[in-house]
Chain A
């Protein structure tokens, strides 16, 4: 847990993915990891809608040193995680990010490809290739959600890998947990960021 957070500061994370990619699961595992990391207040929720496979969906994670009292959606998140970079073309992803926020993408390109004239920091990691490599493929679908948690830890420095690994471990059977943790670790290592980012 970072040391200089003010008591009441609530960290908002928004996840963008497609139905079936596991963005909601990732949002919830991050909440568990944040709790294990020492944040007293954590919440995670899908965007309340009618989700279907393939359609753009969002989910949110919040964490804070104090119990969280708000359940109303945030307009601008501190960190936005995008599971499918093509969503940038159809969803106003940047509109939901603070001007000095952190954008994390699953992409084989480097962060410079996504840098805008905004003051945001951009991190990318090729979670897709890593997940394939470690065998996170179910019924032809590459599962990158837990791998991207590694990118979150590396780029944001808000939640430690150790806590993430514990949280992943609690959500999967032993063998599945092992593979998911491996994916997260490799994605952590492969994460590239255009500049150091700190929570404002």
Chain B
């Protein structure tokens, strides 16, 4: 029987990993996600979870342990944030290149310097080109559901995934979360079957130096070149959208909460003005849309639930009727603009769609973003007909 508990995002992530019966956990404490490994350690020590928790001296080592354990066939889990994720950077590339289905919970936090412990998405966005899939959660329920779906998706595709959620905003806020029944999770998520066996009768050499052209391995079998491997990773990510949707649909059939779209949409029917964002800000934006609709605006919210693979075609479809797209980014590519803005523009170019686009940089380092801010920014950008090309900053008290 599933039951509702009032828990925070960190507890939700730990509970999600436990329900997935992860076998090896390696993580290093960093605010605001420390409660995740702390909770998991309790499960392991009390015998509630038959897993090995490996204590490490850094995030780089945490992911290295996960890579090793995943390579020999364990279902693994880690969690981090901000500079901890940045410290993992080298191994993030390795995990994806080695095609390991590692799932990471990421409590989004801004990067230093200057230090902040508070929320923005600069950490995960800075890792978007590592080959990991990324999903962004609106609330704690989505954290739970995304982690369970993540293992099913990753183990089909042999690609790792970050389940991202706003640090403090979700990690430290309790709210009702339906905890799925263990038996149902077991039925939904069978045991992990690795795609290679390293301790079998035939010793194998994994991830050796690759040359620019294919060459034969020790058995005389021709193996792909470096680019061949890289292209396969891209092809897998290109096809990942369908797998994510299928798993989302199946999840809905079992647990009653369906994830049948790579986006989350709110009141988009007949909307000509779209507020576009990610994470918990999508819920805040839905309040701004309610206020705008009250005033006679035809406004709606589109949130990118899945950011990698980038759902370009789905997004084009969702924005096909939009005259104005107002994009709120909790990140910035310095010298350019917010990441979702750049990616959205690229997606629209292919379809020949030309709504006005305004990009707002918001909520860096935990700066509060209220529905009224989003509403006012939307009104301003439509009045200016999106003619401001550089990103606008909201909430900067210089």
Contacts and interface: CB of A to CB of B under 8 A. Distances in A.
Nearest to A8: B290
A31 B174 contact: yes
A143 interface: no
Interface residues of B, number: 24
Contacts of B117: 50
Interface stretch (A68-76, A87-95, A105-113): A68-76
Given A28-B6, A35-B6, A48 B284 contact: no
A35 B176 CA distance: 8
Interface string A59-92: 0000000011111110000000000000000000
Contacts of A73: 368
B169 interface: yes
B286 interface: yes
Nearest to A44: B174
Given A28-B6, A69-B286, A70-B284, A43 B173 contact: yes
A23 interface: no
A32 B176 CA distance: 8
A179 interface: no
A42 B280 CA distance: 15
A190 interface: no
A45 interface: yes
B130 interface: no
B284 A35 contact: no
A43 B118 CA distance: 19
Nearest to B170: A71
Given A28-B174, A43-B174, A45-B174, A71 B280 contact: yes
B391 interface: no
Nearest to A167: B6
Contacts of B236: none
B173 A71 contact: yes
B209 interface: no
A71 B287 contact: no
Interface string A8-45: 00000000000000000000100110010000111111
Contact of A44 (B173, B284, B368): B173
Contacts of A46: 172
B254 interface: no
Contacts of B169: 48, 71
Nearest to B175: A43
A31 B6 contact: yes
A73 to B, nearest CB: 6
B132 interface: no
A69 B175 contact: no
Contacts of A45: 8, 168, 172-174
A31 B172 CA distance: 14
A70 B287 contact: yes
A41 B8 CA distance: 14
B4 interface: yes
Contacts of B4: 35
Nearest to A46: B172
Nearest to A34: B6
B193 interface: no
Contact of B168 (A40, A42, A48, A69): A48
Interface string A170-191: 0000000000000000000000
B246 interface: no
B283 A48 contact: no
Contacts of B370: 70, 72
Interface string B3-24: 0101010000000000000000
Contacts of A40: 176
B369 interface: yes
Contact of B287 (A28, A32, A43, A69): A69
Nearest to B372: A72
Interface string A94-132: 000000000000000000000000000000000000000
Contact of A69 (B6, B8, B283, B366): B283
A32 B174 CA distance: 9
B79 interface: no
Contact of B366 (A41, A48, A67): A48
Nearest to B370: A72
Given A31-B6, A32-B6, A71 B284 contact: yes
A34 to B, nearest CB: 9
A164 B88 CA distance: 44
Contacts of B369: 72
Contacts of B368: 72-73
A70 B371 CA distance: 8
A67 to B, nearest CB: 8
Interface of B: 4, 6, 8, 117-118, 166, 168-170, 172-176, 280, 283-284, 286-287, 366, 368-371
6 contacts: A42-B176, A68-B175, A69-B286, A71-B283, A72-B370, A73-B368
Given A28-B174, A31-B174, A45-B172, 13 more contacts: A35-B176, A42-B174, A42-B176, A46-B172, A48-B169, A48-B172, A67-B176, A68-B175, A70-B283, A71-B166, A71-B169, A71-B173, A72-B370
Closest 5 CB pairs of A and B: A45-B173, A69-B283, A48-B168, A72-B370, A32-B6
